[in-house]
Every structure is written in structure tokens, then in C-alpha cells.
Amino acid sequence: MQNHSLVPEPSAELLQLAFDVRRAALSLGHTTLDQRRSSLMKIAESLSTRSREIVAANKEDLDRSEADGLTSALMARLKLDESKLEGAIEGLRRLARLPDPLGHRQLHRKLDEDLVLERVTVPLGVLGVIFEARPDALIQIAALAICSGNGAILKGGSEASRSNEVIMKALKHGLSSSAVSPETLALLTTRQESQALLRLDGLVDLIIPRGSNELVRFIQENTHIPVLGHADGICHLYIDSDADIDQALRITVDSKTQYPAACNAIETLLVHEKVAETFLNKMVPELSNLGVRLLGDDLSQSFGVKMLANEEDWSTEYLGLTLSIKVVDSLGAALEHIRRYGSRHTESIVTSNKETAEIFLRSVDSAGVYHNCSTRFADGFRYGFGAEVGISTQTLPPRGPVGLEGLVTYKYLLRGNGHISADFSSGMKSFSHIDLPL
Amino acid sequence: MQNHSLVPEPSAELLQLAFDVRRAALSLGHTTLDQRRSSLMKIAESLSTRSREIVAANKEDLDRSEADGLTSALMARLKLDESKLEGAIEGLRRLARLPDPLGHRQLHRKLDEDLVLERVTVPLGVLGVIFEARPDALIQIAALAICSGNGAILKGGSEASRSNEVIMKALKHGLSSSAVSPETLALLTTRQESQALLRLDGLVDLIIPRGSNELVRFIQENTHIPVLGHADGICHLYIDSDADIDQALRITVDSKTQYPAACNAIETLLVHEKVAETFLNKMVPELSNLGVRLLGDDLSQSFGVKMLANEEDWSTEYLGLTLSIKVVDSLGAALEHIRRYGSRHTESIVTSNKETAEIFLRSVDSAGVYHNCSTRFADGFRYGFGAEVGISTQTLPPRGPVGLEGLVTYKYLLRGNGHISADFSSGMKSFSHIDLPL
């Protein structure tokens, strides 16, 4: 819940800006796929033409941030060199090849003679995007918005202000020679505006945060606009008593070390006591060799884990080479631990027992539940969605990795010929409810 | 945004109760359709057996409320006689015949040899339901929850406390001889608890308010849990210059008077100036004869509308026999009025011009947009959903009339055979992304 003093009321200027974006978005929603695709290509061209200018602006941001003492991790994310920019532009071209998320008919039903109901996908309206550091995110998110027919109000971190400014200029210039209005996109520059954005209920339809867990949590707690994303990714891997030990080793190493900063990397390894000795005697030295710092419960200490995990560790997302290990006496204990400490992101079981696997798949209430594979597969590209907007750990759809379909909604269209409800209430007519081809 | 003092922190007892419901709901989620159907039949039996007791308890509520001076409209909603109870029990039997909303495979994709992704529908978890007056709503919502595999924490109005208590006893008794635990349902009794319910993020997955616009608005503003429903239903009917006047008359009468207390009844009639004289000269006396109080803009006064509508009228949901009329000079002006004052519920156009109709259908950003038919069709039963949970005017799905599918979500299941992401990152393997039959 929110503290009012944290989030200021939107100014008249911000309301006007949001209103203008909304109006432009309405026209965008009526463009054809070809028009949206061609606008993406114009943007790509415009960015290519200005690549030198963009890299130079980014250099200014880097110099200033270095002087300000930005951490090296953030410096790495802030940096936008020729090749990273090329990658982002290539991303635009890939996006332009994806199928249209708009205009899908999801339901087509004859309610009565000449009374036909349709449910078709339409854009959400306006996205509010708050992102940190990475200026290439601006390119990606603006393109996702256009692709899905939505306007976007974006706010980047102050450390990337020069980069974002020059990129936004390039984006708008690209749009100006396309069927999509440059007013579809707007960049906010002050912190106050980005907070007031959270209060634009009715003008902004979805907030997309891209940044630290703290940023996401702050946003979730301070807006009534739906938020796409997740604060924590506390993923678990459970090594069952019937696990194939070689598979368990490979999957553990991959789930923890293949890219530990990702939300789908595991933070906790649960090991059934029956295989704890065999498994951990191999796993502990292997992970240590890979530089993984291991914490564990009492039992795990007998298998080479040296540091004791405290209560807080079980609900900490390390985002780095740290792993908590717990020895459990049953599948039930593993499920209970996940229920208690998990963040409903992605959990996996390693077992050769199909029945145990099915109980796990059924019982774990997370966006992704896996059997005999790495948690690192939780990703829109790997799922085959072509683009990823984010990964949602909320209960309601869209849940899990979200592709372009997370940026659209639907509306019902009903076409009649003078139909009135009284005829059906009186019993003179009755609904046929015949599904027609989609 | 919320004022903290309005919504108390949940007590330890409430947390425990929510936790127990959640645990019971988890088991419910694993029952078969047959088990859930048979539990509904047990509930139906139990209610039938206790019908005398229920009606007597309701009589107590009625007597007390009459003494307290409850309005006649609320008294009517509070009343649960034999026949209304019979209707509610019949509703349970209908619900038991609906197809299973759970276990639908929405996506089935081979990512690689032996690595198969599925997306299947699962229950949300726990519903928080806050309803006013109508005790039959308790029966309906409890049944919808069980049908969709969800637990429910319910809070009824204090005016119906005796009825709700006896009904809940009957519901739990019915469940006690079924495969569904009676703990799946819980009834809150104090106002403080019902408000604290709004803060059970993580324990309650969806709030369903059933009551006045004020109740819904209070809830929307005081919780971060998603809310299914809508505060206002300000629906518009636009009579275009190319309207068939007879159709326009019929549709107007139906949209306004067939059941004016419904959210899908119109509050505003927009009339193109070209047909204003012909149409209103017939419409005004007809509506007046039907007891409809008419307000209108300046122009409408020349066509027999006697009272002037003020600014506030355009955004008022009368929920009764009052209608505001505005004469507009173009389709654009009608669209602009709807954009400005509408609540994105349902709007309809009457026109014989297909092109105009398509512009209207495309441009209006409401859950339902209709052509040549009454707005009163905006209803889950009329759409053929079999059951209606509510009508949502939010942007994100579920939008519009929501059937059982609004009470489920999905999760991704991934079954592999030792698959790790490093093999795909290194280029050793590549994703096949082949869609398999659903």
C-alpha cells in the first residue's frame, strides 16, 4: 500500500502529454500490420543513420556516471557501443517479422439469426515504461509498443539521460516519415514525472518496469494501474530421491551458473536426504570450483557445505554466484519449502519417477513448473514467443514469460439487425449460441 | 489511492483463516470435474433440505432491516423466499453441467527432442468476495468458486447476516459429504475483517465485489489485489444520420427500459442532428409514456425534452428511468462524447451505413461495441458463457462479461530429459519450436 507523499499528483503538462499520446495511440491502433512493420524499418534506418551521435551521447553519460561513481555492473548496462546498438537495431528487424498480435478473432458466435458476436484482440492503449540504466531498452520497448499498436510514455534513468534523449529523437524522426505518429512515444525527463505516471489511471493502461527488484516493488506498491513483471525471482531446484544423479549435476550447474544475474537462475537447491550424500559429495566441489558460494541448513553441513544459511537466505534473490542448499526428507517437505519461500516464478524437479514428477508439476503454484530440465528455460524467446515483454509472477494472466500478447486485450463486437433483449426475455426468441469458424 | 486508516491490517485470526482456505483450495484444484460436479449436487441437496430454516433466517433479517428502515429496493434484494431459493438451487444444477474450465491445454510446443512445453489452465487460488444484501449471491458465488477450483472468503452485508450464516452452514454441510473440503469456503462476519481482506495480497488472488458503485469504487481504491468488476456502467446509444428510425426506437426503448437497474442499460442517447426531429418527435412521447424522465442538451429542448442536463448528468449512472439526450452534429462528436464520459462498458450504434458502423466498432474503446442491437445483450449468459462472474471494464483481460474463465489462470509445464540452457546458448543445439496438437 502506498504513502501518498511518495507519489505526487500529475501536473497539467503531464496530463496533456498523456492525453496526446493516448490520442496518437488510437490512430496507431487502426494501422495495418504493414504500416506498423514499415514504421519499425524507418526507426531502424533512423537509428543507423544517427549511430555515431547516439554512441557519442552515451559516452557523455558514461563519463559523467564514472565521475559520479556508478558501480561497474551499472556502467556495463549503461554502455551502448556500436555493436550493442547494432544488436538493438537488428532486434527491430526481428520484431517486424513477428505475426500481428492485433485483430485475432478469439470467439465467433451466432447468438441468433443476424446477431453475431465476435471477440477480437485490440491494443491496450498506452504503456507506461520505467527503466533503469540500459538505453537499448528504450529502443526495444518503443518498438514492442508500436508493434502491438500501443502508445508509450517512457522514463529512463537519469544516468542515461543524454543517450535516451538522442535515441528518442531518432525514434521520432523515424516515425515522422511513417504512418505512425511521432506523438505515439513520449519521454519523461524528471523523477517527479515518472512517479506521477503511476497515478495516470485511465490514461495509462499498463506499467512495465525494467530494473531492480526495489524499483519493481516500489512501483507495484504505489500504483493501481496493472504492473507487468515481477519483483523477485526466487527459483528452486529439487533433487528427488529418484533423481538421475548425472542429470541432477548438469541441471544444477546450468540453473545456477549459466547466467546467475537472471531472474530464472535458482537461489535454492532442495535435496532429498536419500541422495544427499551421493549428490552433494559431487556437487559441492563442482560448484565451489565454479566460484559458487554455498550456504546450507544443518544437515547439508555434513556434506561439505560450510556456511549456515539463516532464515533470510531462503527468501533472498542473490542474482549472483550464491546458492542456498537444504536437505529435505520428502517431496512434501520440498513443496512446503517452495510454498513458503518461493516467488511463484519457476521451479524444477529432477526425478526419474514419473509419478513424483506429476505430483510436483501439479502441486507447485508457479508460473513455470519443470521436470528434468534447467529453470533457465523460463524465457519468452526460448518458449518461442519471438519477443519478450517481461516475466510476470502475478496470478492472473498474462503469467510467466509474456510475448506481444501481453500488450493486447480484446473487445466484444456484436452486430445485429434491430435485435432487442425483450424478445429473448419474453421467450419469443431464444439464443442459438452456435460457434462459427474463427 | 488509499488512505491507510481506512483499511486495517489483517488480524492473526484472519491470516490463519485465509491460510486454511488456501490450503483447502490447493486440494480442490486437484479434484476431477466429476468430484466438483458431485459436490455442487450435494450442496444443492443440503440447501433444499434446509430451505425452511433458510427462509426463516431470512425472515429475521427482513424484520430487523425493516425496523432499521432499509430502502424498499434493498429489502427486495435481501428477500429470499422459497421460489428465489429454488432458483438459486437450480442455478447450481446448471453450473454443474458446464464444461470444465480447468486443465485446458492452451499451448503445446516441442522446444527440442524430448523437451515439451505446455500451457494449461489452473485455478487462481482464493477469491475474496464482498457482496451486499442479496443472500442468494452467496450460493451462486460459492458454487462458481468450487466449479473453478478456487477457495473463497466471503463477506456479506450485515443486513443479511442471519441468512448468510444459515446458508453457509448448509453449504459446508453439503461439502462435508463430498470430495471438496468444507474449509474451501469461509464467511467473514465483521466489517473490519472484510476491509482487512483487501490487504491479503498473496493469500487472496482476486477480489469480486457485488454491490453498489460506491462499494466497488472503495474496493478498487483500497487494494492491490486485482478486482473483477466495474464501478460505473455508463452506456451510450448513438442514433446515426443513416439510422432506420423504427429500429432506433425499438433499440432505445429496450436499452433504457427493459431493466433500467442493470449496468448495461443506457444512460445517454446521442442523436445525429439530421434525424433528431423525426426520431425524437416519436421517441420523446414514447419514453415519457414509459415513465422515463428525460434530460437533454440545448438542442434537444426543441424536440420536446423539457429538462436541461447539466455537466454532471453525462457521467451519472442513473440505474433507473432517467435518460440524458444529446444532439450531435457528426459521428466524430458522438465518439468524442463517449470517450469523454463513457465508462468503457458497452456502447451501440444504430445505422444502416455499414461503413459508419465499422468506424464506430473500431473507434470505441469499450468492452462491448454493438451495431443495430440493444446494449442489454452485454451479459455472460446472453454471450453463451453459461455463468457470469461479473462484467469487467478494465483494460486487461478478462474484459466484458466474464464467465468461469475469469476465475482461472494458467501455468507453463516443461518436461525435459536433462536439458540445459548452455547447450542452446553455445549453439550445440537449437530450438525447434514445433507446435503439437492441443
pLDDT in tens, A222-261: 998 999 988 888 999 999 999 999 999 999 999 999 999 8
Mean pLDDT along residues B243-263: 96
B132 and B191, same domain (yes or no): yes
Q: Would an 8 Å CB–CB cutoff place A202 in contact with chain B?
A: no
A154 and A46, same domain (yes or no): yes
Q: Would an 8 Å CB–CB cutoff place B306 in contact with chain A?
A: no
Identify the band that residue A323 occupies on the pLDDT scale cut at 50, 70 and 90.
Answer: very high
pLDDT at A418 over 90: yes
pLDDT of residue A9: 86
pLDDT at B5 over 70: no
- Distance between CA atoms of residues B206 and B220, nearest Å: 11
Coil, helix or strand at residue B410: strand
pLDDT of residue A3: 43
Q: Which residue of B has its CA nearest to A435?
A: B384
What sign for the dihedral angle of Cα A93, A94, A98, A101?
A: negative
pLDDT of residue B240: 98
- Of residues A115, A220, A372, nearest to B416 (C-beta): A372
Nearest to B106 by CA among B412, B384, B396, B383: B412
Closest approach of chain A CAs to the CA of B366, in angstroms?
7
The pTM is what? 0.93
The answer to whether A384 contacts B109, with C-beta atoms less than 8 Å apart, is yes
pLDDT of residue B319: 87
Q: Would an 8 Å CB–CB cutoff place B363 in contact with chain A?
A: yes
Closest approach of chain B CAs to the CA of A366, in angstroms?
7
pLDDT in tens, B268-298: 999 999 999 999 999 999 999 999 999 999 9
Within 8 A of A359 by CB-CB distance, chain B residues are none
- Of residues B124, B384, B413, nearest to A109 (C-beta): B384
CB B235, CB B344: distance < 8 Å: no
pLDDT of residue B284: 97
Q: Which of residues 381-420 of B touch A (CB under 8 A)?
A: 382-384, 394-397, 399-401, 409-420
CA A258 to chain centre: 20
Structural domains of chain B, count? 2
Q: Judge whether B116 lies within some domain.
A: no
Within 8 A of A30 by CB-CB distance, chain B residues are 362-363
Q: Judge whether B54 lies within some domain.
A: yes
**Cα separation values, A423 from A112, A204, A427, B348, Å:** 11, 40, 6, 18
Unique residue bearing C-alpha cell 488512505? B3
pLDDT of residue B8: 82
B175 and B277, same domain (yes or no): no
User: Is residue B338 left, alpha or beta, with left meaning phi > 0 and alpha meaning psi from -120 to 50?
Assistant: alpha
Closest approach of chain B CAs to the CA of A136, in angstroms?
21
Phi/psi at B160 (5° precision) = -105, 20
Closest approach of chain B CAs to the CA of A373, in angstroms?
5
Closest approach of chain A CAs to the CA of B413, in angstroms?
5
The answer to whether B396 contacts A206, with C-beta atoms less than 8 Å apart, is yes
Q: Would an 8 Å CB–CB cutoff place B12 in contact with chain A?
A: no
Q: Would an 8 Å CB–CB cutoff place A224 in contact with chain B?
A: yes
The answer to whether A124 contacts B206, with C-beta atoms less than 8 Å apart, is no
Q: Judge whether B348 lies within some domain.
A: yes
The answer to whether B420 contacts A370, with C-beta atoms less than 8 Å apart, is no
Within 8 A of A418 by CB-CB distance, chain B residues are 244, 246-247, 250-251, 372-373
Q: Judge whether A249 lies within some domain.
A: yes
pLDDT of residue A1: 42
Exposure on the CB side of residue B203, measured as CA atoms within 13 A: 18
Identify the band that residue B190 occupies on the pLDDT scale cut at 50, 70 and 90.
Answer: confident
pLDDT of residue A4: 45
Question: Percent of chain A at pLDDT above 70?
Answer: 99
Q: Judge whether B303 lies within some domain.
A: yes
The answer to whether A399 contacts B409, with C-beta atoms less than 8 Å apart, is yes
pLDDT at A2 over 50: no
* Strand pairing class (A151-155; A105-112): unpaired
Q: Judge whether B423 lies within some domain.
A: no
Q: Which of residues 169-198 of B touch A (CB under 8 A)?
A: none
pLDDT of residue A396: 93
Mean pLDDT along residues B38-67: 97
B214 and B250, same domain (yes or no): no
Among residues B198, B221, B244, the one where a domain terminates is B221
- Distance between CA atoms of residues B22 and B61, nearest Å: 31
B35 and B137, same domain (yes or no): yes
B78 and B191, same domain (yes or no): yes
Within 8 A of B30 by CB-CB distance, chain A residues are 362-363
B199 and B303, same domain (yes or no): no
Q: Which residue of A has its CA nearest to B339?
A: A23
A213 and A241, same domain (yes or no): no
- Of residues A111, A376, A419, nearest to B384 (C-beta): A111
Q: Would an 8 Å CB–CB cutoff place B23 in contact with chain A?
A: no
CB B407, CB B150: distance < 8 Å: yes
The answer to whether B377 contacts A417, with C-beta atoms less than 8 Å apart, is no
Q: Judge whether A418 lies within some domain.
A: no
pLDDT of residue A59: 97
Q: Would an 8 Å CB–CB cutoff place A26 in contact with chain B?
A: yes
Closest approach of chain A CAs to the CA of B384, in angstroms?
6
Q: What is the mean pLDDT of chain A?
A: 94
The answer to whether A205 contacts B396, with C-beta atoms less than 8 Å apart, is yes
Within 8 A of A401 by CB-CB distance, chain B residues are 412
Coil, helix or strand at residue B25: helix
B365 and B239, same domain (yes or no): yes
Within 8 A of B354 by CB-CB distance, chain A residues are none
* Strand pairing class (A105-112; A434-435): antiparallel
pLDDT of residue A6: 66
ipTM value of the model? Answer: 0.93
Phi/psi at A314 (5° precision) = -65, -20
Within 8 A of A380 by CB-CB distance, chain B residues are none
The answer to whether A254 contacts B433, with C-beta atoms less than 8 Å apart, is no
pLDDT of residue B6: 66
Would you tell me how many other CB atoms lie within 10 Å of the CB of residue A93?
13
The answer to whether B111 contacts A377, with C-beta atoms less than 8 Å apart, is yes
Among residues B340, B359, B377, the one where a domain terminates is B377
Compute the C-alpha angle B35/B38/B41, nearest 5°.
155
Q: Would an 8 Å CB–CB cutoff place B2 in contact with chain A?
A: yes
C-alpha cell at A324: 542456498
Q: Which residue of A has its CA nearest to B434?
A: A384
Closest approach of chain B CAs to the CA of A199, in angstroms?
8
B292: domain CATH number? 3.40.309.10
Within 8 A of A367 by CB-CB distance, chain B residues are 411-412
Q: Would an 8 Å CB–CB cutoff place B437 in contact with chain A?
A: no
The answer to whether A422 contacts B254, with C-beta atoms less than 8 Å apart, is yes
- Best B31, B108, B412 residue to mutate vs chain A (most A CBs within 10 Å): B412
pLDDT of residue A8: 82
Omega within 30 of 0 (cis) for the link into B398: yes
b/e map B170-179, b = 16+ CB within 10 Å: bbbbbbeebb
- If one compares A329 and B133, the residue with the highest pLDDT of the two is A329
Domain residues for the domain of B364 are 235-377
A14 and A160, same domain (yes or no): yes
The answer to whether A370 contacts B413, with C-beta atoms less than 8 Å apart, is yes
B148 and B279, same domain (yes or no): no
Closest approach of chain A CAs to the CA of B262, in angstroms?
12
CA B168 to chain centre: 22
Within 8 A of B2 by CB-CB distance, chain A residues are 1-2
The answer to whether A420 contacts B251, with C-beta atoms less than 8 Å apart, is yes
B59: domain CATH number? 3.40.605.10
pLDDT in tens, A10-57: 999 999 999 999 999 999 999 999 999 999 999 999 999 999 999 999
b/e map B384-405, b = 16+ CB within 10 Å: bbbbbbbbbbbbbbbbbbbbbb
DSSP string covering B125-165: SEEEEEE-S-THHHHHHHHHHHHTT-EEEEE--GGGHHHHH
pLDDT of residue A229: 83
Among residues B221, B254, B278, the one where a domain terminates is B221
Within 8 A of A410 by CB-CB distance, chain B residues are 397, 399
DSSP string covering A280-306: HHHHHHHHHHTT-EEEE-TGGGGGT--
pLDDT in tens, B63-95: 999 999 998 888 988 999 999 999 999 999 999
Phi/psi at B383 (5° precision) = -75, -10
B187 and B247, same domain (yes or no): no
Q: Would an 8 Å CB–CB cutoff place A83 in contact with chain B?
A: no
Within 8 A of A368 by CB-CB distance, chain B residues are 411-414
- Of residues A2, A253, A373, nearest to B416 (C-beta): A373
Q: Judge whether A74 lies within some domain.
A: yes
